[in-house]
């Protein structure tokens, strides 16, 4: 179906792009990460050519592609995507916007999974205060990010700090 739509309508027609997006999502759902990454990369190239690299739809696809790269075992490749998304969202929507905060979290995770726990800790330390102020410390996203921070601290050899964060999480869970 995708090849027919491309042939008849052209590769950047809305229907061809939608078919490519459906194929990418299906590949991810059936746990074919390499194929999903390949298709998302292709979709990203088409969308960037059509919409530019700062369009919301492009940023959403880049976020998904980055997350797939992390789960496919290529987190270092995801770092560049997540950095770009974070930078654009921060500039356009502001630092306290939930999508900007999610982009920070995605970047911190990619850095941690790429074996760069120190850089991951730096990222968490940059955005966790903004997230606490914007969403509150009891928000699920904040708690999730705080747990990721504890993991990064532990991987960076900062176990005393990681234990303190774990204690905060346990205390919040008990509330």
Question: 40-73, pLDDT tens digit by residue?
Answer: 888 888 899 989 999 999 999 899 889 988 988 8
pLDDT of 80 reads 94
Delimit the domains of the chain by residue range: 1-73, 76-175
Q: Which two tokens stand for residue 74?
A: 């290529």
Fold of 1-73: 1.25.40
The dihedral region occupied by 92, where left means phi > 0, alpha psi between -120 and 50, and beta the remainder, is alpha
* Alpha-carbon span 11 to 154, nearest angstrom: 47
> Is residue 16 a contact partner of residue 6, using CB atoms and an 8 Å limit?
yes
Same CATH fold, 76-175 and 1-73? Answer: yes
Q: What is the mean pLDDT of residues 152-165?
A: 98
pLDDT of 41 reads 85
CATH superfamily of 76-175: Tetratricopeptide repeat domain (1.25.40.10)
pLDDT at 124 over 60: yes
Percent of the chain beyond pLDDT 70? 84
Mean pLDDT of the chain, nearest integer: 88
Treating both helix axes as pointing N-terminal to C-terminal, what angle do 33-51 and 14-29 enclose, rounded to 10 degrees? 150
pLDDT at 98 over 80: yes
Residue that the structure tokens 């654009």 belong to: 88
């Amino acid at each position: 179906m995708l090849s027919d739509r491309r042939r008849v309508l052209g590769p950047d027609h809305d229907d061809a792009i939608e078919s490519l997006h459906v194929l990418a999502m299906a590949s991810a759902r059936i746990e074919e990460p390499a194929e999903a990454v390949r298709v998302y990369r292709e979709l990203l190239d088409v969308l960037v050519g059509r919409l530019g690299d700062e369009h919301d739809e492009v940023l959403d696809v880049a976020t998904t592609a980055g997350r797939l790269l992390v789960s496919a075992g290529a987190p270092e490749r995801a770092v560049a995507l997540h950095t770009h998304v974070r930078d654009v969202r921060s500039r356009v929507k502001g630092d306290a916007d939930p999508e900007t905060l999610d982009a920070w979290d995605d970047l911190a995770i990619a850095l941690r999974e790429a074996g760069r726990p120190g850089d991951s800790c730096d990222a968490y330390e940059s955005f966790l205060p903004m997230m606490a102020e914007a969403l509150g410390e009891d928000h699920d996203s904040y708690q999730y990010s705080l747990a990721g921070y504890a993991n990064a601290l532990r991987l960076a050899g900062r176990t005393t700090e990681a234990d303190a964060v774990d204690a905060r999480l346990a205390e919040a869970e008990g509330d």
